[in-house]
């Protein structure tokens, strides 16, 4: 029985009156003053970061490169899980493939940095047929099925004689660049890749398709009834995530130079991605970025603790999933109504209502 169904005459009049009253006082916007400021600030920050190699130390630049790669990983995992509702513990498949194809393409004689970019495209192409099978799985089946994919790809890569099994291989052609300029190029590549992917996702989420994506997250059934094709949108997110994570793997290889399949195809990468997104805020654009920054800081300070560091990451992930499932950003958003990078709509109600304004 649907109790919301109200047929009684005077009551429905009453409701529509109330609706009219609200219509006059509700303002739906995308941009608030704060979010405009935030985007301008972010743009300035990125421009400033682009000039960092001129001043900063080699070590600092190297660490920032790692941070950018973490932001890519978190954002892409979040695109898949937070917007597509697809939790995966096998995204290391694409991370490893990104590195592997870079080696392969560079081996053909192409410039290593060209190989990095091309590799990500190849990874995206490979991910498409994978999506055809995997997207038919649901929930936990998808999550762990992706892990099987990663394990299989890892084994297949090991079959390639060039890689020499678990011994691995280095991206030797990087040596053609002097070390200082190599570092700078990788740094800038990582910065631009990160910016590019963030902007891409931002635009995607704000597009018609993007509204569809967020509709699916809320209710797949409702989305289908609106004429949105959840499968198509999920595929788009799957391929985008593979592309981004592949690019991250390629960049990681460029920065670390050596490729050991075991390291790149480790499930640890999934653990990191989950940690970042869970802590930052799943399904929150800003949350993934915040999570990556926090993870970066935690790693910088505590990774020397070795095993206990990993225990801590796992425990924090459990704690967040139990007690703060919307993550730190979700909590900030709820409490202070923050939204700096608006992918949804901002609903402001000018009315003496207790819920002064609401975020959607």
Partner 1 sequence: MTNQIIQAILLGGYYALIACGLSFMFSIMKIINLAHGSLLVLSSYLFWWLADSYAISPFYSLSIVIPIMMMIGWALQEFLLQKSARGGELLPILTTFGLAIVLENLLFEYFGADTRSLAPYIGDLSWESWQILTDIYVGKTSVYILLSAISLLASLQLFMQKTAMGRQIRATAHDPDTAGLIGINARKASAIAAAIALGTIAISGLAMSIRGVFDAYSGGPQLLFAFEVTIIGGMGSLWGVLLGGIVLAMAQTIGASIHPQGFLIGGHVIFFVILLARLYMANSVIAIRIKKVFGGLR
Partner 2 sequence: MTALEINSLDVRHGQLKAVRSISFSIEKGEVVALIGANGAGKTTLLRAIAGAHKLTSGSILLKGIDITDLAAHQRVAAGLALVPEGRKLFTDMTTQENLQLGATVSRAGGWSVDKIFEIFPNLQRHRHAKTGNMSGGEQQATAIGRALMSNPEVLILDEVSLGLSPLVVDQVYASLATLIQTGTTIILVEQDLSRAMKVASRAICMLEGEIVLDKKMSEVSREQITDAYFGLAKIKNIAVEQ
Q: Can you give the binding site for partner 2, defined by CB under 8 A?
A: 1-8, 11
Residue 108, CA distances (Å) to 101, 122, 177, 291 in order: 11, 14, 18, 38
Contact yes or no for 68/193 (Cβ under 8 A) = yes
User: Minimum Å distance from CB 245 to partner 1?
Assistant: 17
User: Minimum Å distance from CB 138 to partner 1?
Assistant: 8
> In terms of DSSP H, where are the helices of 135-229?
139-159, 179-206, 208-218, 220-225
φ and ψ of 164, to 5 deg = 60, 45
- Tell me if 106 contacts partner 1 by CB under 8 A: no
- Tell me if 93 contacts partner 1 by CB under 8 A: no
Both tokens of residue 305? 């603790």
Among 19, 114, 133, 297, interactor with partner 1 by CB under 8 A: 133
Residue 15 or 148: the one with the smaller Cβ distance to partner 2 is 15
The DSSP bridge partners found for residue 349 are 26
Residue 179, CA distances (Å) to 112, 175, 186, 253 in order: 14, 8, 11, 15
Residues 6+ positions from 28 with CB-CB distance below 8 Å: 345, 346, 347, 348
Sheet harboring 26-29: ordered strands across? Answer: 26-29, 346-349, 357-359
- Tell me if 313 contacts partner 1 by CB under 8 A: yes
- Tell me if 310 contacts partner 1 by CB under 8 A: yes
- Tell me if 16 contacts partner 1 by CB under 8 A: no
Task: Spell out, one character per residue from 218 to 257, where the chain touches partner 1: x when CB under 8 A holds, - when not.
Answer: ----------------------------------------
| Pairwise CA distance, residues 183 & 65, whole Å | 9
Contact yes or no for 242/124 (Cβ under 8 A) = yes
Residues 6+ positions from 129 with CB-CB distance below 8 Å: none
- Tell me if 196 contacts partner 1 by CB under 8 A: no
User: Minimum Å distance from CB 331 to partner 1?
Assistant: 14
Residue 6 or 136: the one with the smaller Cβ distance to partner 2 is 6
* Residue 308 interacts with which of partner 1, partner 2, none, CB < 5 to 8 Å by class: partner 1
Among 13, 141, 166, 353, interactor with partner 1 by CB under 8 A: 141
Cα torsion angle, 179, 45, 81, 74, sign:
positive
Q: Any idea what DSSP says for residue 283? A: T
Size, binding site for partner 1 by CB under 8 A: 38
* Candidates 33-41, 67-75, 290-298, 305-313; binding stretch for partner 1 (CB under 8 A): 305-313
* Candidates 46-54, 99-107, 130-138, 347-355; binding stretch for partner 1 (CB under 8 A): 130-138
**Coil, strand or helix at 265:** coil
| Pairwise CA distance, residues 207 & 321, whole Å | 30
* Residue 5 interacts with which of partner 2, partner 1, none, CB < 5 to 8 Å by class: partner 2
User: Minimum Å distance from CB 151 to partner 1?
Assistant: 6
* Residue 108 interacts with which of partner 2, partner 1, none, CB < 5 to 8 Å by class: none
Question: Whose CA is closest to 99, among 111, 116, 113?
Answer: 116
Residue 114 or 148: the one with the smaller Cβ distance to partner 1 is 148
Residues 6+ positions from 106 with CB-CB distance below 8 Å: 112, 115, 171, 173
Task: Spell out, one character per residue from 320 to 339, where the chain touches partner 1: x when CB under 8 A holds, - when not.
Answer: -xx--x--------------
Site residues (vs partner 1, CB under 8 A): 81, 85, 87, 89, 133, 136-137, 139-141, 143-145, 147-148, 151-152, 155-156, 158-159, 267, 270-271, 274, 278, 307-308, 310-311, 313-315, 317-318, 321-322, 325
């Amino acid at each position: 029985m649907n109790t919301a169904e109200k047929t009684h005459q005077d009551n429905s009049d009453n409701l529509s009156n109330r609706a009219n009253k609200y219509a006059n006082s509700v303002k739906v916007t995308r941009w608030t003053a704060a979010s405009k400021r935030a985007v301008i600030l972010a743009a300035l920050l990125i421009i400033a970061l682009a000039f960092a190699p001129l001043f900063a130390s080699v070590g600092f630049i190297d660490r920032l490169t790692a941070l950018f790669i973490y932001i890519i990983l978190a954002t892409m995992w979040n695109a898949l899980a937070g917007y597509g509702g697809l939790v995966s513990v096998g995204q290391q498949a694409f991370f490893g493939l990104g590195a592997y194809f870079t080696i392969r393409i560079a081996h053909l004689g192409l410039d290593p940095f060209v190989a990095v970019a091309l590799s990500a495209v190849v990874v995206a192409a490979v991910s498409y047929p994978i999506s055809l099978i995997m997207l038919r799985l649901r929930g936990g089946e998808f999550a762990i099925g992706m892990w099987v994919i990663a394990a299989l790809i890892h084994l297949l890569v090991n079959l390639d004689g060039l890689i020499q099994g678990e011994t691995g291989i280095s991206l030797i052609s990087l040596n053609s660049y002097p070390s200082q300029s190599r570092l700078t190029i990788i740094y800038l590549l990582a910065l631009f890749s990160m910016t590019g992917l963030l902007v891409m996702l931002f635009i995607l989420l704000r597009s018609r398709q993007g509204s569809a994506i967020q509709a699916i997250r809320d209710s797949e059934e409702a989305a289908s009834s609106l004429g949105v094709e959840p499968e198509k949108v999920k595929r788009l997110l799957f391929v985008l995530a593979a592309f981004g994570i592949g690019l991250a793997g390629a960049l990681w290889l460029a920065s670390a130079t050596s490729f050991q399949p075991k390291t790149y195809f480790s499930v640890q990468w999934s653990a990191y991605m989950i940690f970042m997104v869970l802590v930052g805020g799943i399904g929150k654009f800003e949350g993934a970025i915040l999570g990556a920054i926090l993870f970066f800081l935690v790693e910088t300070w505590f990774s020397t603790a070795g095993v206990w560091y990993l225990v801590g990451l796992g425990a924090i992930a459990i704690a967040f999933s139990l007690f703060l499932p919307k993550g730190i950003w979700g909590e900030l958003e709820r409490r202070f109504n923050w939204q700096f990078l608006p992918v949804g709509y901002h609903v402001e109600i000018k009315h003496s209502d207790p819920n002064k304004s609401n975020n959607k």
